[in-house]
Amino acid sequence: MDIRAVFIDMDGTLLTKTNEISQRNKEAIHMLINHGVKVFLATGRQYDITVPYHEQLRLKTPMICLNGAALYEGYTGKLIQKKPVKIDQELFHHTTAEEECNVIIHTETGVYCKERSKEVIQWTLEGKVPPRYIGDLRQADYGEVLKYSVHTGNPSRSLAMPFTKDAEVIHWDNGFEIVARGVSKWSAIQTLIRAYGIRRDEVVAIGDGPNDVAMLRHAGLGVAMGNAAPNVKANANLIIGHHEEDALAAFIEGYLNDSYSMNLGKTDMV
């Protein structure tokens, strides 16, 4: 397979449990770039907590954020594409207000949340940008929404059901997310590969979560992490090791070694 672009999920794929990029993963990604392959981050995170890792890797490619609802230019961080989600907000707030859950609303201008959770505190530490609002979201003026996140601590399909008609709902073990109809990491990848003149069969996508399923299914090579759930693995062409064991780096190193061996073989035949 001739790989021209690799799209990498962050949490559970690129990052360790302590939200770090291992040295081996960094070196493997740099090797890939040096071989002429374009590397992109494709994440459910908002821009503020994506860009520090983008800078650590010295990437210049655009960033896919909020499950594909937002695309940011790699050099300047300018928002170059957004796809707001439109649902019945009165119904949404009525449904979630009395639940024991945290609701996080991701917008172009920042994050609005019902509670200051451990996750929100971690985001503030990573991105150095606090939430714009914490409290009763029915009282907040947040404008266009790019993604809703509802953290209940458990699967919540019945709670999410009313919104499946008008939007895409991504189910997690601890809640669900809502984005605009047709939005996914794969839809954002399609936008980028068209711009770069890259074919689908030249694309590798690597991830571990339910928000990665579309890109794993449609990429030329979909690679699931060993720590991914069974339904995520079922949509991949290849399953590799655990994200805590530098499986991403091992996969990249293996690809480069195979590519080098093939090139040697071609040379020997001449």
Q: Are residues 199 and 146 in the same domain?
A: no
CATH code of 115's domain: 3.30.1240.10
pLDDT of amino acid 261: 52
**How many domains is the chain partitioned into structurally?**
2
Are both 109 and 237 inside the same structural domain?
Answer: no
* pLDDT for position 258: 82
For residue 66, is pLDDT > 90? yes
Q: 78 with 97, same domain?
A: no
- Which range marks the domain in which residue 235 is found? 5-82+183-269
Check pLDDT > 50 for residue 268: no
Domain finish residue from 155, 180, 205: 180
Residue range 88-134, pLDDT digits in tens: 999 999 999 888 999 999 999 999 999 999 999 999 999 999 999 99
User: Among residues 126, 151, 180, which one ends one of the domains?
Assistant: 180
CATH number at residue 55: 3.40.50.1000
Strand order in the sheet with 167-172: 133-134, 110-113, 102-107, 147-151, 175-180, 167-172
pLDDT at residue 262 tops 60: no
215: nearest Cα among 3, 6, 4, 2: 6
**134: which residues sit within 8 A by CB, 6+ positions away?**
112, 113, 114, 115, 116, 120
- As given in the structure block, the two tokens for residue 234 are 């079922």
- Please identify, among 180, 213, 233, the residue that sits at the C-terminal boundary of a domain: 180
- Residues 6 or more apart whose CB falls under 8 angstroms from that of 94 comprise none
Question: Are 44 and 99 found together in one domain?
Answer: no
Residue 267 pLDDT more than 80?
Answer: no
Tell me, yes or no, whether 93 and 176 share the same domain. Answer: yes
Mean per-residue pLDDT of the chain = 94
Considering the domain architecture, whether residues 141 and 105 belong to the same structural domain is answered as yes
pLDDT digits (tens, 9 = 90+) for 219-257: 999 999 999 999 999 999 999 999 999 999 999 999 887
CB 155 within 8 A of CB 173: yes
Q: What is the mean pLDDT of residues 32-51?
A: 97
pLDDT in tens, 144-196: 999 999 999 999 999 999 999 999 999 999 999 999 999 999 999 999 999 99
